[in-house]
């Protein structure tokens, strides 16, 4: 506790924390969704050795090593815990596994009201202890260089994987359950909300300094269903998170992919920042909600496959669209693609750091 306090006080780069709270910064901070991952040869090397992705997440030394890999290459302004949103359903007993080239699957998906009734809420200090151990280790290794972001999936997004049993194209099973048995669906979302809140609070107690919630599949819902089955649960989590730790505010970022219609509602949850995909110019989002929250995003991930000159041009356009002042965290609009050349990531980070000071004259 005491040594943590010292680390916190001496955070060498606090641009991310400042921008999320819309306090003045010298440079726009940048981190990248999925910054640790398959586009890095050093990540692929570890994966070839460890084989099983879950083992990587469940071994704190390996999770720590992979978290730090992108920071050794690029002057990023944050680290993000290496883990996955599906660790919670796994801890609930669904049996998560990853098969080569197919993404995540569950051995025991949730298909009806009886399955939902029998689901327990996991104690994060027991079944998910490996995550907290990774957080402690990463904080030690970071030694106050940049803040550490912790995360979870939204209740709705976790429910889609749990009911479908894996990745899906049309969400027919989860939507079927929602339409036919809304009460059971709300029970599932309630249990997930409790599990996610306890899990994120345990991450904060272990040392994460920012929280991000990924609502990757909120955007497949009608407005009516989003406001019934996703947003209220995000709201409940925001309300029940520990927002102060080690004498510092813990900012919360909410990201509903393809959620541009609901930006005002997301900003109204009491979160500190809203993540944007690449569809809406960030300047328009700023006019709509930028007086309330910070904004994170919003470069199209495919731009990283274009030339360095085109990447710089896109960075300049996004920075100009946001305009002067704090409250912008540069990021992609979704995760980085595995085929990206790491040299292009270097170009991106440098472009943000060299072009953004013009927007932060004090």
Annotated binding residues for substrate, as ranges? 34-38, 84, 161, 216, 334
179-218 residues near ligand CP3, rule: CB under 6 A: 214, 216
Residue 167 binds to ligand CP3 (criterion: CB under 6 A): yes
**C-beta of 2: minimal distance to ligand CP3 in Å?**
29
Q: Which one of residues 17, 76, 85, 274 is an interface residue with ligand CP3 (CB under 6 A)?
A: 85
For 310, other C-beta atoms within 10 Å of its C-beta total 14
CA distance 139 to 8: 10
Our measurement of the distance from residue 106's CA atom to the centroid of its chain's CA atoms, rounded to an integer in Å, reads: 22
> Binding site: which residues?
34-38, 84, 161, 216, 334
Residue 300 binds to ligand CP3 (criterion: CB under 6 A): no
Q: Binders of ligand CP3: how many residues, by CB under 6 A?
A: 21
Q: How far is CA 231 from CA 64, 149, 225, 249, 361, in A?
A: 32, 22, 9, 23, 37
- CB-based contact 154:79 (threshold 8 Å): no
Q: Which one of residues 25, 71, 78, 86 is an interface residue with ligand CP3 (CB under 6 A)?
A: 86
Alpha-helical runs (H) found in 165-208: 172-180, 182-206
CA distance 152 to 155: 9
Q: Which is nearer to ligand CP3, 119 or 253 (CB)?
A: 253
- The catalytic position among 15, 22, 145, 161 is 161
Q: Which is nearer to ligand CP3, 250 or 286 (CB)?
A: 250
Three-class SS of residue 252?
A: strand
121-160 residues near ligand CP3, rule: CB under 6 A: 151, 153
Q: Which is nearer to ligand CP3, 60 or 104 (CB)?
A: 104
Burial category of 120 from C-beta neighbours within 10 Å (exposed 0-12, middle 13-18, buried 19 and up): exposed
Alpha-helical runs (H) found in 112-154: 113-117, 129-142
Whether residue 286 lies in the annotated active site: no
Q: Which is nearer to ligand CP3, 64 or 85 (CB)?
A: 85
Whether residue 38 lies in the annotated active site: yes
Q: Which one of residues 45, 52, 103, 120 is an interface residue with ligand CP3 (CB under 6 A)?
A: 103
Q: At what angle do helices 60-73 and 342-355 cross, to 10 degrees?
A: 60
Please identify every residue annotated as catalytic.
34, 38, 47, 84, 161
- Give the residues lining the site for ligand CP3 (CB under 6 A): 33-38, 47, 53, 80, 82, 84-86, 103-104, 151, 153, 167, 214, 216, 335
């Amino acid at each position: 506790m005491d040594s943590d306090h010292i680390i916190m006080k001496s955070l060498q780069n606090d641009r991310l924390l400042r921008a999320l709270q819309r306090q003045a910064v010298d440079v726009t901070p940048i981190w990248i969704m999925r910054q640790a991952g398959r586009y890095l040869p050093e990540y692929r090397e570890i994966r070839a050795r460890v084989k099983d992705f879950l083992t990587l997440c469940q071994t704190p030394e390996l999770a720590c090593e992979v978290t730090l890999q992108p920071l050794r290459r690029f002057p990023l302004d944050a680290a993000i815990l290496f883990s996955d949103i599906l660790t919670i359903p796994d801890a609930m007993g669904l049996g998560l596994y990853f098969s080569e080239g197919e993404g995540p699957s569950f051995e025991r998906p949730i298909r009806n009201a009886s399955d939902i009734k029998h689901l327990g809420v996991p104690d994060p200090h027991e079944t998910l202890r490996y995550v907290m151990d990774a957080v402690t280790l990463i904080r030690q290794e970071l030694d106050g260089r940049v803040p550490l972001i912790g995360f979870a999936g939204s209740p709705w997004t976790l429910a889609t994987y749990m009911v479908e049993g894996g990745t899906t194209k049309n969400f027919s099973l989860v939507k079927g359950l929602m339409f036919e048995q809304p009460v059971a669906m709300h029970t599932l979302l309630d249990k997930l909300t409790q599990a996610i809140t306890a899990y994120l609070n345990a991450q904060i107690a272990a040392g994460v300094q920012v929280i991000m919630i990924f609502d990757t599949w909120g955007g497949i819902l009608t407005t009516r269903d989003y406001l019934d089955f996703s947003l209220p649960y995000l709201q409940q989590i925001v309300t029940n998170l520990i927002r102060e730790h080690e004498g510092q505010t813990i900012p919360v970022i909410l990201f509903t992919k393809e959620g541009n219609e609901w930006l005002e509602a997301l900003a109204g949850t009491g979160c500190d920042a809203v993540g944007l995909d690449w569809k809406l110019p960030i300047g328009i989002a700023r006019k709509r909600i930028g007086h309330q929250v910070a904004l994170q995003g919003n470069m199209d991930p495919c731009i990283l496959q274009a030339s360095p000159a085109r990447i710089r041009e896109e960075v300049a356009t996004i920075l100009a669209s946001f305009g002067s002042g704090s409250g912008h965290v540069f990021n992609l609009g979704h995760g980085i693609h595995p085929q990206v050349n790491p040299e292009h990531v270097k170009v991106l980070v440098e472009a943000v750091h060299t072009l953004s000071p013009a927007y932060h004259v004090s």
